Amino acid sequence: FSGYKNMIEGVVRDLREYLAKKHSSEVKFVICGGSNLELDIDEIEISEWDDVFKVNLRAMFIICREVSRSMKKMKYGRIVNVSSIAGRHRSISSGIHYVSSKAGVIGLTRQLAFELGRYGINVNAVCPSQTYTKMLSDTMTTQEQEKLASTIPLQRIAGIDEQAGPIMFLCSSIA
């Protein structure tokens, strides 16, 4: 988290350069980020809470703000924010800071859709369930992953490719 400010400033600079070269039909952004610490509420330090919110919500706000400025000028755009089922429900494998930040992503997305729709910009969020990623494998043992899979109707953890299809649809002109 120590290089967070420089990272965000670099992303914003790169976004501005990228958007300056694009035509309206090419402006589609999928914004995802995740930081998760599996801690109970009484174990979470304020700095850890802030760090998770910086990655999961604040960075998303900054990126959405930057891309929406260009999209508004073009009167077109697609933004898909990746939240989590934890933001809609709860989590058996994440801390309250992760769940709260992902709920914030849903609120951010709803408000952005309301504000940007009049400019021809579609803003959506997807809330995938647990997906097999490096973060998941780093934070859960094989036994914990098997237990998690047993709580899912398909009895398995989804792969990243399974999450990509709905996101690609939301980026399309027919969404």
Closest CA to 23 of 76, 65, 61, 64: 76
Q: 40-75 burial, b if ≥16 CB within 10 A, otherwise e?
A: eeeeeeeebbebbbbbbbbbbebbbebbbebbbebe
Which residue among the candidates 4, 76, 98, 119 is catalytic per the annotation? 98
98: annotated active-site residue: yes
Lookup result for tokens 């859960």: 140
The pairing of beta strand 28-31 with beta strand 121-126:
unpaired
Q: Please give the positions annotated as active site.
A: 98
